[in-house]
């Protein structure tokens, strides 16, 4: 298993360079990498005990592979494969596929590493690869959006580095387990880095612009898997150390409510999806023990939705009401929206039930509000008009790659039902149906007519940096008061 893991981790980077040297092979090699990861993830699921690997003696790289990583890895594999199929007929250059493969490899690396420095390296490679993907169109806007992303994430990672060295100072080791007994400022610095990188709570407000202004396949990759790279270490730490668990859960609830509050008022399809990503990451964090399954369903559904949003005739919901979309696309849109609202028969339902079983009592209210908000925001998609006439001039031409990607992602959603089939009891089925019905009603009678435009001032780069310092203070205060209490009692 050790050799297999190391080989699997190194192969994307080797193949990435080969792609650039032999551009004709780009699409095949990129697809091969995704298939390899699928195989590896299945292998992880069938290995009963978690694998711990320590490379190069005690100060070397430490890796940990378990079921949780398996879920994240398979999400990454399926989403990457779908995006490659989507791009297959579009004539993207080898440079695009090279970066997609690098991104895939580095995201995989974050899902198995168990020490702060390997994590740092993997996260920084992710920043670079996603910057290059975002700026692929070479327009001024895409360059600015990419620069902004790189700037925010690099500053966050500098804070993270300070936290990492504080952990080392306390334990002479960079291992995740070293967070226990580290000074509160170490935890605050590291969490700030991960929260900003993962797009969580107020420090994640860079995310909507970045995800909505990128190309749709790139948005699908970013929203489907890349943000999970920041979330996964938080989940890992929460599972490893009991005292961090409430902090992670708190940020989970906070981000779930914040994201959905923006999403219900949003009038732009891609921005709504991006805000909704912020909210859904909260569900992953709110119940760390079962976060893997939720991350899988969210990754699949969100990348499907971004790919669909890319081929809709317009980006504004208002205009979409006058431009009917082809029925075939509408069906795909409906399946994805139903899954994310938690409708039975799709795996979004199983994931929601499983997650809500693991909530603590104080989380339930917040998360129910978030689930209701999800139903409201996706009612915007569900009630869009559609027509059989596909020859309309303003609907963009749909290529075969799109349908293969949809088959893969939506098929995955249906197949993933098998992971938690115990969810299908009468009581479990009724609750999401009520939530969805309430959501649709309130959409139809209230939110459809509302015309509130939330200010976008907080998304300016100066404010993003300022909010980072506030988050740092908040984190430090939370960690410090908690450690204080544990001394008292």
Q: How far is the CB of 281 from another protein (least distance, A)?
A: 23
Q: Which stretch binds another protein (CB under 8 A): 32-40, 161-169, 193-201, 364-372?
A: 161-169
Q: Of 51, 67, 35, which is closest to residue 3 (Cα–Cα)? A: 51
Q: Of 116, 367, 374, which is closest to residue 250 (Cα–Cα)? A: 367
Number of residues near another protein (by CB under 8 A) = 41
Q: Which stretch binds another protein (CB under 8 A): 1-9, 394-402, 462-470, 477-485?
A: 462-470
Q: How far is the CB of 456 from another protein (least distance, A)?
A: 7
Among residues 13, 20, 95, 151, the one that binds another protein under rule CB under 8 A: 151
In sequence order, what E strands does 262-342 have? 325-326
| Contact between 149 and 210 (Cβ < 8 Å) | yes
Report the DSSP beta bridge partners of residue 63.
Answer: 53, 113
| Residue 431 CA, distance from chain mean position | 26
Is residue 460 involved in binding another protein (CB under 8 A)?
yes
What is d(CA 162, CA 359) in angstroms, rounded to the nearest whole number?
A: 32
Q: Which two tokens stand for residue 89?
A: 């007929």
Q: How far is the CB of 286 from another protein (least distance, A)?
A: 30
Say if strands 325-326 and 62-65 run parallel, antiparallel, or are unpaired.
Answer: unpaired
Nearer to another protein, 59 or 362 (CB): 59
- Interior CA angle at 95 toward 94 and 98, to 5°? 85
Q: How far is the CB of 449 from another protein (least distance, A)?
A: 24
Among residues 31, 165, 345, 398, the one that binds another protein under rule CB under 8 A: 165
Q: Which residue has the tokens 């420090």?
A: 203
Is residue 144 involved in binding another protein (CB under 8 A)?
yes
Q: On the CB side of 223, how many CA atoms lie within 13 Å of its CA?
A: 35
Q: What residues numbered 222-281 form the site for another protein, per CB under 8 A?
A: 268
Is residue 170 involved in binding another protein (CB under 8 A)?
no
Q: Which two tokens stand for residue 151?
A: 């700037």
Among residues 51, 150, 240, 334, the one that binds another protein under rule CB under 8 A: 150
Is residue 57 involved in binding another protein (CB under 8 A)?
no
Helix residue ranges per DSSP H, 199-226: 207-213, 216-221
Which residues contact residue 360 at a Cβ distance below 8 angstroms, ignoring those fewer than 6 apart? 246, 249
Q: Which stretch binds another protein (CB under 8 A): 127-135, 383-391, 443-451, 480-488?
A: 127-135
Q: How far is the CB of 259 from another protein (least distance, A)?
A: 19
Among residues 6, 161, 239, 345, the one that binds another protein under rule CB under 8 A: 161
Mask for 101-120, x = binds another protein (CB under 8 A) = ----------------x--x
Is residue 146 involved in binding another protein (CB under 8 A)?
yes
Judged by DSSP in three states, 394 sits in coil
- 396 class by beta-carbon count within 10 Å (0-12 exposed, 13-18 middle, 19+ buried): exposed
Q: What is the dihedral of CA 341, 344, 345, 351, to 10 degrees?
A: 70
Nearer to another protein, 313 or 344 (CB): 313
User: Contact positions toward another protein, by CB under 8 A?
Assistant: 59, 117, 120-121, 124, 127-128, 131, 135, 138, 140-141, 143-147, 150-151, 154-155, 158, 161-162, 164-165, 168-169, 172, 174, 209, 213, 268, 456, 459-462, 465-466, 469
């Amino acid at each position: 298993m050790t050799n297999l893991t190391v080989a699997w981790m190194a192969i994307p980077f080797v193949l990435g360079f080969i792609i650039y040297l032999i551009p004709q092979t780009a699409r095949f090699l990129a697809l091969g990498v995704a298939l390899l990861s699928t195989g590896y993830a299945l292998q992880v699921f069938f290995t009963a005990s978690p694998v711990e690997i320590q490379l190069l003696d005690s100060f070397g790289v430490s890796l940990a592979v378990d079921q949780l990583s398996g879920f994240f890895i398979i999400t990454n594999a399926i989403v990457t494969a779908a995006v490659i199929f989507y791009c297959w007929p579009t004539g993207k250059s080898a440079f695009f596929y090279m970066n997609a493969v690098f991104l895939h490899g580095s995201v995989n690396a974050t899902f198995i590493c168990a020490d702060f420095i390997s994590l740092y390296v993997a996260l920084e490679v992710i920043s670079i690869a996603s910057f290059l993907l975002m700026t692929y169109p070479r327009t001024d806007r895409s360059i600015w959006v990419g620069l902004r992303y790189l700037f925010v994430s690099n500053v966050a990672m500098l804070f993270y580095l300070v936290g990492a060295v504080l952990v080392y100072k306390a334990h002479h080791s960079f291992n995740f387990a070293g967070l226990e007994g580290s000074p509160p400022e170490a935890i605050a610095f590291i969490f700030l880095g991960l929260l900003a990188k993962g797009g969580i709570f107020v420090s994640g407000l860079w995310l909507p612009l970045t995800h909505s202004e990128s190309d749709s396949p790139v948005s699908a990759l970013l929203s489907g898997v890349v943000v999970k790279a920041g979330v996964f270490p938080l989940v890992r730490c929460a599972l490893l150390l009991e005292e961090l668990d409430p902090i992670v859960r708190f940020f989970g609830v906070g981000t779930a409510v914040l994201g959905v509050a923006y999403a219900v008022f949003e009038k732009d399809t891609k921005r709504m999806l991006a805000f909704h990503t912020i909210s859904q990451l909260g569900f992953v964090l709110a119940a760390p023990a079962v976060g893997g399954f939720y991350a899988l369903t969210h990754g699949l559904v969100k990348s499907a939705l971004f790919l669909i949003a890319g081929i809709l005739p317009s980006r504004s919901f208002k205009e979409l009401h006058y431009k009917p979309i082809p029925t075939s696309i509408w069906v795909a849109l409906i399946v994805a929206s139903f899954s994310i609202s938690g409708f039975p028969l799709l795996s979004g339902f199983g994931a929601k039930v499983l997650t809500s079983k693991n909530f603590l009592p104080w989380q339930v209210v917040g998360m129910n509000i978030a689930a209701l908000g999800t139903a409201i925001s996706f009612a915007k998609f569900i009630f869009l008009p559609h027509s059989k006439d596909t020859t309309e001039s303003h609907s963009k031409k749909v290529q075969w790659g799109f349908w293969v990607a949809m088959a893969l992602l939506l098929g995955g959603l249906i197949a993933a039902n098998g992971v938690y089939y115990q969810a299908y009891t009468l009581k479990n089925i009724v609750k999401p149906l009520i939530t969805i019905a309430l959501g649709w009603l309130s959409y139809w009678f209230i939110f459809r007519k509302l015309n509130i435009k939330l200010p976008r001032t907080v998304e300016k780069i100066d404010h993003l940096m300022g909010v980072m310092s506030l988050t740092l203070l908040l984190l430090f205060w939370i960690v410090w008061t908690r450690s204080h209490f544990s001394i008292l009692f």
